[in-house]
Amino acid sequence: MKITDYIIPVLFIGIMAIGLGKKTNVYNAFVKGAGKSLRLVGDLFPYIFAVFLAIGLFKASGLSSLTAKVLTPVLVPLGVPVELTELIVLKNISGSGSLAVLGNIFKVYGADSYIGRCASIIMSSTETTLYIAGIYFADTKVKRIGKPLAIGLLISTMSVFLSCWLCKII
C-alpha cells in the first residue's frame, strides 16, 4: 500500500474513535447521515439527467470531434499536440468520457510518450467544470453563473497550455 492508500482507513477510524470518545451514538449518526444521501441525489437527478443527455448527444453526434477539428488550427500553433484536442474538448464536460479518451491515448502513443505525459497532466489538473456548474447550483435561487463559469473554463484552458509547455521542460 502507498501512503495515500492509508488516508481512508485512518480517516474513518479517527472519525469513529472521536465519535465514541465524545459519547456520540456513532451508529445512529451514520444511519441518519447516510439517509440524507437518497434525498440529495433525488434532488440532483434531473440535473444529472439533463447534463448526461447533452453530453451523450455531443459525443455520439460527432459534434465533439468536429469541435476538436475546428480547434486544431488554433491550438497547434500554441504548442498543443493535435492528438490531444479531443481530450481537451471533453475534459470540461465529461469525466468518464475523457477518461476513456485518456486510456485510448495511452494505448496508441504510450503512457510515457510526450503526448501521454501531457494528457496525464491535462486530465488530472482540472475537474469537469460544466458538470460541477450544473450540480452545485442545482437547488438554489442562483441562475446567473456566467462569471464563475468563465473563470473556471479560462483556467482549464490555461492549464492545457501550461501542461504542454511544462512537459517539454521536465
Partner 1 sequence: MNIIWVGLFILSLICFMINGDASSLGVMIGSGKEAVLFSLELTAVYALWMGFIEISTQSGLLENMSGRIKPLIDKLFKNSCDKAREFLALNLTANLLGLTNAATPSAISAVKELDKENKTPYPTYAMCMLFVINATGIDFFPATVIALRSAYGSADPTSIFLPFVIVNLINSLVGVLLVYLLCSPRKQKSSDCVFEALTEGTIKRSSSHR
Residues from 88 through 127 that contact partner 1 (CB under 8 A): 99, 102-103, 106-107, 110-112, 116-117, 120-121, 123-127
Q: 40: burial class by Cβ within 10 Å (0-12, 13-18, 19+)?
A: exposed
Contacts 24+ apart (CB under 8 A), 73-80: 75/160, 78/161, 79/161, 79/164, 79/165, 79/168, 80/160, 80/161, 80/164
The distance of closest approach from Cβ of residue 142 to partner 1 in the complex, given in angstroms and rounded to an integer, is 5
Indicate whether 143 belongs to the interface with partner 1 (CB under 8 A): yes
Residues between 1 and 60 that touch partner 1 (CB under 8 A): 4, 7-8, 11-12, 15-16, 18-19, 21-22, 24-26, 29-38, 40-41, 44-45, 48-58, 60
Residues between 53 and 72 that touch partner 1 (CB under 8 A): 53-58, 60-63, 66
Indicate whether 78 belongs to the interface with partner 1 (CB under 8 A): no
Q: Which of 69, 83, 114, 137 binds partner 1 (CB under 8 A)?
A: 137
Backbone dihedral region for residue 75 (phi beyond 0: left; psi -120 to 50: alpha; all else: beta): alpha
